[in-house]
Structure 1
């Protein structure tokens, strides 16, 4: 009897030990930012992400060192075309040259599946930049069509939630009126080429700006009363899902229900300045652990229950050169030495670093230790 009980307990332990190691195999992506002077080399990062079973990575550029380091891997990449390069993309020859250098030259060894043309363009008041976004996307798309890559590589851009004029209740979501002239043709283009609408959504900002009114449990996916949309009667138990549905509503106002909303960035800082409420290790751990649990369950939002949420977590590493408040430099899941900032089960392998023990080896060691403990308890 003792040996059978020991076997069942050991089997359960093995199952739980491996579950978090494989958590990214559910398709959750991660943002790989590099605004830092202390990050490990791309080749070491490739090993780290491989040990975590990460299958999707988003870059803010098309760093050839990164793309080369991940050649012949199973990782799919979003590569970024920077805001400062949008105006050049109006020129078909320059768009052709950019795609050939930054995408075509890496295929098929490195899997590039998306080009992110600009990031949070409408957060700026630069009208020239705003006017360049759609022509740049169209130009890049035409190059992909000419190269026969338009079915393999999608074209899109990412937006800050500041583009919303109204987000509460979610069914009343609308875009800012002064952005309509840009967003209407842009959304029409998304519908035409069947590409997703990406948003950078951070419930943390809502809590930081108004901690007295915004429930911490609501933004951290913790048990709470939530809110019910008075128009649709749909119930929301977390802010992120409400934000996503508000964007769906705003797109519907533009005449479209055929565009998928995906989250290109979301996260929670583990540290902040004194006036940055909620920026703690404990809250960051809760946000990411609860979010990952939801995603692995393939949940949809209340308004789109059959559409699993597609998310890229921000970010892989703390980036010490990012400007702004302290929180900006503390969004990473990992320190640059490969050690996790907090424990959500993502202990990977960064060669040559202090965390240079593979997840499988750590699991094996833990199982061995636990087995010794059980042997002592059962007197086996």
Structure 2
């Protein structure tokens, strides 16, 4: 079934695909002056049946527009407001202003208190984080909203060691900060969110890091990491377990690949961005877990929904989007918005190997997913190349503390 929606001045046609397909979340950043309205974005997401989205603020326009859509929404306390959230009265007021009036029509299911706080180089901000988390959670409890919302923060570059993944460990200087944070997550059953970008590892060391490895191009072998993202996640899982909190779930709050970069930004191409995101989507269809937790589907939020023209930094920072602001796709990964004269597929046949879009696109029938119960920071998570193989003895010994 196809629908047509208006984004800006363009009519966009989208093909609806099976609802079991849409496990991947999206990051809806708004650092731009030319984005569609929240109502148009809502229509795009619901047409694509994307059911999980993260925003970096509590924009009332977005919160209102997303009402009655069924989209799980993560909202964010900006870093500059984290200190104020230490005060229980301020935290209660924040929740009463930014969560309670919209819930449950707008399905706010997560609150990120800050973003990449532990790599902010601001000792005060770092020390304020856990008290702020406690105050926000207490406010949710007071208002009867705690059972619907996870409270956590998105992390990056917090590991001292990450390769092999079973040797994952936190930076020693962060121990006094991380342990109380993990205590909070364990007590409230909240996830440890990580922003994970294999792109940075490849950009910094293209001669040492295999492009196939970072782009999810599968290699054969037993107990082998065939992609860097899973190795990054498992390194964090092992680091958490080493501190005695192996039951805390790790989720990927951001990952993606830029389609354009400066001359020194190796690998920032449309072809690589398409390959990374499309291969990640296909793994999400299969409800894959990582080698450490194979029966627990890894929750992932793709960065980003749109290119954002006002983001500072290198060119790549403004080119992580799947879509241009007018709704046309930057490249086709399957979650595609095309002009009304074209159609959409989630197969690799949607584009030629040289990147040219085919005039006629065929949709591959996929088996249903099995039912299971279950950017700047990732330079440390190099994963070690194409064959990050764990020794069996080490693997078994360390998995005991994770279960």
**Do they superpose with TM above 0.5?**
yes
Gaps of 5+ in 2: 1-13, 345-359, 363-403
Aligned equivalent of 1:263:
252
Is the partner of 1:320 in helix, strand or coil? Answer: coil
2:370 is matched with none
What is the SS of the residue equivalent to 1:113?
Answer: strand
Looking at structure 2, the residues matched to 64 and 293 of structure 1 have their Cα atoms a distance apart, in angstroms, of 33
The match for 2:166 among 165, 168, 171 is 171
Report the Cα distance in structure 2 between the residues aligned to 1:50 and 1:93, rounded to whole angstroms. 36
The alpha-carbon deviation at position 194 of structure 1 amounts to 0.5
Q: Which whole-Å CA distance do the structure 1 matches of 2:166 and 2:57 have between them? A: 35
1:297-324 C-alpha deviation (Å, 9 max, x unpaired): 0111111111111000000000001011
Distance change in 2, residues 1:20/1:218 (3 Å): farther
1:146 counterpart residue number:
142
1:25 deviates by 4.5
The answer to whether 1:217 aligns with 2:206 is no
Task: Indicate whether 1:191 and 2:186 are aligned.
Answer: yes
The correspondence for 2:201, drawn from 206, 227, 239, is: 206
Structure 1 segments of 4+ aligned residues over 6 angstroms from their partners: 356-360
Aligned to 2:329, which of 340, 352, 363? 340
Distance of 1:303 and 1:46 partners within structure 2: 35
Cα deviation, 1:20-78, whole Å, max 9, x if unaligned, reads 84478432110000000110111111111111001111000010000111111111100
Instruction: From the superposition, tell whether residues 100 and 356 of structure 1 become closer, same or farther in structure 2 (CA, over 3 Å).
Output: farther
Counterpart pick for 1:104 among 97, 100, 103: 100
Aligned position for 1:56: 52
More helix by share: 1
Q: What does 1:152-163 align with in structure 2 at a 5 Å threshold?
A: 152-160=148-156, 162-163=157-158
Structure 1 residue 345, shift from structure 2 partner: 2.1
Instruction: Check conservation: 1:59, 1:77, Cα contact below 8 A.
Output: yes
1:165 to 1:370, Cα distance in 2 relative to 1, 3 A: closer
Unpaired segments ≥5 residues, structure 1? 1-17, 227-232, 350-354, 361-368, 372-380
Do the aligned partners of residues 23 and 334 (structure 1) sit closer, same or farther apart at CA in structure 2, a change above 3 Å counting?
farther
Q: Which deviations, in whole Å up to 9, do the C-alpha atoms of 1:204-263 show, x marking residues without a partner?
A: 00000000000000000114468xxxxxx8311000000000000100111111100000
What's 2:65 paired with? 69
Match of 1:131 among 127, 131, 135: 127
RMSD over aligned Cα atoms: 2.2
After superposition, the C-alpha distances for 1:139-195 in whole angstroms (9 at most, x for unaligned) are 0000011111110111111101x1111000000000101111100110011001110
Shift of 1:358: 10
Matches of 1:31 and 1:24, distance apart in 2: 20
Distance 2:137 2:164 in 1: 35
Provide the C-alpha distance between the structure 2 equivalents of 1:334 and 1:212, rounded to a whole number of angstroms.
30
Q: Is this contact kept in 2: 1:21–1:346, CA < 8 A?
A: no
Q: What is the distance in 1 between the residues matched to 2:20 and 2:320?
A: 18
TM-score if structure 2 supplies the norm length? 0.80
Q: 1:35 aligned to 17, 31, 36, which one? A: 31
Distance in 1 separating the partners of 2:48 and 2:61: 21
- Preserved CA contact (<8 Å) 1:20 1:346: no
Tell me the SS of whatever aligns to 1:106.
Answer: coil
SS at match of 1:312: strand
Change (3 A) 1:45 1:137: same
Aligned to 2:298: 309
- 1:94-132, CA deviations, whole angstroms, 9 ceiling, x for partnerless residues? 111100000001012111011111100011111100000
| 1:297 lines up with 2:286 in the alignment | yes
Q: Is the 8 A contact 1:207 1:278 kept in 2?
A: yes
